[in-house]
Amino acid sequence: MTSARCLSTFDKHREIFEQLGIDKTNNKGVFDGEWKGSGSIMPSINPVNNEVMAEVVTGSTDDLNTALDRVAEAQKIWREMPVPKRGQVLLAMRDALVKNLYPLGKLVALEMGKILPEGVGEVQEYVDILEYALGLSRTLSGALIPSERPGHVMLETWNPLGTVGVISAFNFPVAVYGWNSALALVTGNGVLWKPAPTTPLTSIAVTRLLERTLRDHQLPPALCSLVTGGTEVGAGLAQDKRVNLLSFTGSTNVGRKVGQVVQGRFGKSILELGGNNAIIVMEDCDLDLAARAILFAAVGTAGQRCTTTRRLIVQESIYDTLIERLVKAYAQVKVGDPLDEGVLCGPLHTKDAVGVYEQALDKVRQQGGEILIGGQVLKDGPLSQGNFVAPTLTKVTPDMDIVKNEAFVPILHTMTFKTLDEAIAINNNVAQGLSSSIFTNNPSTIFKWIGPAGSDCGIINVNIPTNGAEIGGAFGGEKETGGGRESGSDSWKQYCRRGTCTINYSGALPLAQGINFG
């Protein structure tokens, strides 16, 4: 790998890269209080043209070992800081991100491939969770529990675990780390980040901002450490007992292995895995509202969100009408460079993803499905050098294998149903359980959908799409989605060591359950 491979993309956007501290070569991909890297050189590739934008010297398992020690040392200082003072540091981190909102958003678009408004929106999500954590810094609380013994009081304590490891995915190279980092920090932990191998520049840029903030507050910058690299670094995080909690976002297959390794050493894990999300459309719904939501949910981020809609379950009486509208809408979707104005669908992140797209369509045909629109890899003209595909609608039946396995590409499988019970059964009849939505104006349908006989997913929406979760609620899913919860609600408790404390101030020793030893 040589600097000669770093072609026009870097030079074209040099101002953004330099503002964020990114060079063409020799970007150090390890930070544990100082920038270093003893691993191999990793390219950052622009999915628009598959050019190398810049190069990163990655971390090794030795770097990981050192970083874990330094995070632990820094955390001992951080955990003693009063929680409201931690909140002030998080506020400063928030301000640093706001000042760099557009440059970071543009870097996300360049390196990941999502359109610029989504890139900026992702950085905003990190800003939002830092504001949420600032609020928590004044409101974190336990419980006071009535004791059955006279002269006794029971209460709960929530103390930091120590070190939180974060393995983030390529599709949200900022927000997923932000969710975990903000909550881990406000609860008194140190953080070590292992980003996706294909988005190293974004992680370096974010960590540089955090470094400056920590130094400004006379805090050890190793508190927010970074080790870029491949599977050996991720495996090291999963295996190491110094990692008290590991948050992993990725595929179900890898997440299953990660969970087993972490549980094998009695560590804690937060798993955010596959989705295979569905939207149900009832005949009594606002069809215009549903059509707009479906387009965004299926095509946004080129189908590379964990909450992307993969299955569209439509009541028979309105199927033809809705599909006609969607086909017209799909025909108007502009595919192209995510930085270009008017583009709604950027490239897939890698060439391998294009292969997944082609294989999924082959399976649709083999299993008797029909392609309604799309279905092409865009190999001609100005898009020929990138990873561009046409957003696709298919018509299938719920029993086809292709429907039960998620492909991380912009393919939406459509199918029909007769009754609400049938629709709910179709929604639930997959191994994953992340996000689900229903479009209806019937109150009884709504309350059945969100009740015990309704959706079995962790995210259950009504008259909004499957994607676009707010940070105020807990984010995560059931079944092979992993069961983890991040972001809002009481997700902060996962980053804590919970203690039940009983205090005897009576001077006597009454025992629980009325036991008397004489």
Report the percentage of the chain scoring pLDDT > 90: 93
Confidence bin at 4 (pLDDT 50/70/90):
very low
Confidence bin at 1 (pLDDT 50/70/90):
very low
Q: Reply yes or no on whether the pLDDT at 8 is more than 90.
A: no
> Domains of the chain by range and CATH?
3-273+483-498 (3.40.605.10), 277-476 (3.40.309.10)
Confidence bin at 153 (pLDDT 50/70/90):
very high
Top pLDDT among 425 and 10 is at 425
Residue 229 to residue 315: CA distance in whole angstroms: 47
**Which residues are CB-contacts of 130 (< 8 A; sequence separation ≥ 6)?**
90, 91, 93, 94, 97, 178, 182
Q: Reply yes or no on whether the pLDDT at 455 is more than 80.
A: yes
pLDDT in tens, 15-32: 999 999 998 888 999 999
Two tokens, residue 414: 């459509």
pLDDT in tens, 359-375: 999 999 999 999 999 99
Poorest-pLDDT segment among 23-27, 246-250, 444-448, 492-496: 23-27
pLDDT in tens, 282-324: 999 999 999 999 999 999 999 999 999 999 999 999 999 999 9
Residue 123 to residue 205: CA distance in whole angstroms: 12
Two tokens, residue 237: 């995080």
Mean pLDDT on 435-457 = 98
pLDDT at residue 10, rounded to an integer: 87
Top pLDDT among 213 and 9 is at 213
Q: Reply yes or no on whether the pLDDT at 266 is more than 90.
A: yes
pLDDT in tens, 63-100: 999 999 999 999 999 999 999 999 999 999 999 999 99
pLDDT at residue 255, rounded to an integer: 97
Residue 43 to residue 58: CA distance in whole angstroms: 10
- Backbone φ/ψ region at 313: left (φ over 0), alpha (ψ -120 to 50), beta: beta
| Nearest C-alpha neighbor of 362 from the set 314, 411, 426, 294 | 411
CA 223 vs CA 30, 193, 196, 512: distances in Å: 13, 11, 20, 43
Confidence bin at 518 (pLDDT 50/70/90):
low
CA 212 vs CA 34, 74, 205, 206, 224: distances in Å: 12, 15, 11, 10, 11
Residue 483 to residue 492: CA distance in whole angstroms: 15
Beta carbons of 420 and 448 less than 8 angstroms apart: yes
pLDDT at residue 380, rounded to an integer: 87
- Contacts within 8 Å (CB) and 24+ apart, 360-363: 360/402, 360/407, 360/409, 360/411, 361/392, 361/394, 361/411, 363/401, 363/402
Beta carbons of 27 and 204 less than 8 angstroms apart: yes
Q: Reply yes or no on whether the pLDDT at 168 is more than 60.
A: yes
Average pLDDT value for the chain: 96
pLDDT at residue 515, rounded to an integer: 80
Dihedral, CA of residue 414, residue 419, residue 421 and residue 422, to nearest 10: -40
Residues annotated catalytic, as ranges: 272, 306
Poorest-pLDDT segment among 2-11, 242-251, 478-487: 2-11
pLDDT in tens, 204-220: 999 999 999 999 999 99
Mean pLDDT on 268-294 = 97
Residue 173 to residue 412: CA distance in whole angstroms: 24
| Nearest C-alpha neighbor of 423 from the set 398, 406, 442, 446 | 398
Q: Reply yes or no on whether the pLDDT at 6 is more than 80.
A: no
**Which residues are CB-contacts of 178 (< 8 A; sequence separation ≥ 6)?**
125, 126, 129, 130
